[in-house]
Copies of this chain bind each other. A is one copy, B any other.
Amino acid sequence: MARMTSSSLDPAIAARLKRSADGLVPAIAQQYDTGEVLMLGWMDDEALHRTLTTGRCTYWSRSRREYWVKGDTSGHVQHVKSVALDCDADTLLVKVDQVGAACHTGARTCFDADVLPLAADQAG
């Protein structure tokens, strides 16, 4: 279900947004200058509103069930550079300037540690 019965998100954007059954949209965070894909988080309408208006990336934490301003506890802030909605209006791409590590493990991105094996004849 949606987190809130209403949010402050621009109604013109809210009307277009296609949410999952639990009211969320996946948000890809990408380092704006290097192009690194840093992480994927989830936003409801209010998290998107805060991301668009505060300059700080804000997600909905599905495990903690609360808003999560990236970097508030770690210092690893994401300064928002741009936000784009995809052609189906069901995914967000947020270009950010990431301070320090994006991943809670201390790695620069959440995708650094676990590269899956390709079939030998497909590699490269």
Give the contact-size bracket for chain A.
Answer: 35 or more
Distance (whole angstroms) from the CB of A6 to the closest CB of chain B: 19
- Contact call B52/A83, Cβ cutoff below 8 A: no
Interface string of A4-32 (1 = CB under 8 A from B): 00000010010000001100001010100
21 A-B pairs (CB sep. < 8 Å): A13-B116, A21-B21, A39-B86, A40-B86, A40-B91, A52-B117, A52-B118, A52-B119, A53-B118, A53-B122, A54-B122, A55-B118, A55-B119, A80-B118, A84-B112, A84-B114, A84-B115, A85-B111, A87-B105, A91-B111, A93-B111
Q: Answer whether residue A34 sits at the interface, using C-beta atoms and an 8 A cutoff.
A: yes
